[in-house]
Amino acid sequence: MMDITSLQNPRVKHIVKLREDKRQRKKDGLILVEGFDELTLALGCGLVPQTILSAPELASQTLTVPHAENISVNRAVFEKISYRDNPDGWMGIFPMPTRTLEELSLPEEPLILVAESVEKPGNLGAILRTADAAGADAVLVCDPRVDVWNPNVIRASRGAVFAVPAVEVDSLEALEWLRRRPEPLERSRKMRVVAASPAGSEAYTSVNMKGPLAIAVGTEDEGLTELWMNAADVRVNIPMRGRVNSLNVSIAAALMLYEAKRQRAA
């Protein structure tokens, strides 16, 4: 027998609120993780779920999570709580991870991505996915217009949000923290900030991206604010050969990160 079969069940209504309302997530300190792959990645990164929901009519894989509440639901209920077009029948409810700047554990020459005021879940998720793939040491999500734990961010990141340390923080605090890093090292190896902007004076491939580095990207419409542009050690551009005058922010971040990794490998 299914544990939940009614769309009017209070648990179902609560999950829908968690899916749709950032304030509800913050109030309850809970996040939703949908999808077998994302769920297993979250578990592999050490997150402990409060509840695991599964729909046997949809789920083709099996998963056993000890010490968690396991609830089975029918197809109609799962499609009600799902935020995907073709759900695979797996969802977890997890305590919301809390991360601060001071908790970050960084190497001597960290590579950090700063994403300022990103507003689209798909873009932020893609940035986190790329940051994980490129081996970035942290992502600072500054003055976010969409929260890191938005279910659509988690989906777009393919669960990478659990693998790469991401911290939500206001820009001024992030900049002050970057300027203090890395404290034990000599002045010549201080953290440098590279700002990506169409108004940048140098091509991104021509600047030195070795050593402690923070790459800052902004929104497609507005770009980085004056705070980051004025604080940057260097402003770079990504050459545009076509008629459009801007790139998707996640693409810009990917180009910059992989150029930094290429230089560091060389």
Burial (CB count within 10 angstroms: exposed 0-12, middle 13-18, buried 19+), residue 190: middle
Alpha helices (H) along 82-150: 121-134
Q: What CATH code would you report for 101-265?
A: 3.40.1280.10
In the prediction, which pLDDT does 15 show? 98
d(CA 158, CA 84): 13
The encoded tokens of residue 263 equal 């230089």
For the chain, the structural domain boundaries read 10-95, 101-265
d(CA 141, CA 149): 12
Per-residue pLDDT of the chain (266 residues; tens, 9 = 90+): 689 999 999 999 999 999 999 999 999 999 999 999 999 999 999 999 999 999 999 999 999 888 899 999 999 999 999 999 999 999 999 999 999 999 999 998 999 999 999 999 999 999 999 999 999 999 999 999 999 999 999 999 999 999 999 999 999 999 999 988 655 545 445 899 999 998 899 999 999 999 999 999 998 788 999 999 999 999 999 998 888 777 899 999 999 999 999 999 98
User: What is the fold, at CATH topology level, of the domain defined by 10-95?
Assistant: 60s Ribosomal Protein L30; Chain: A; (3.30.1330)
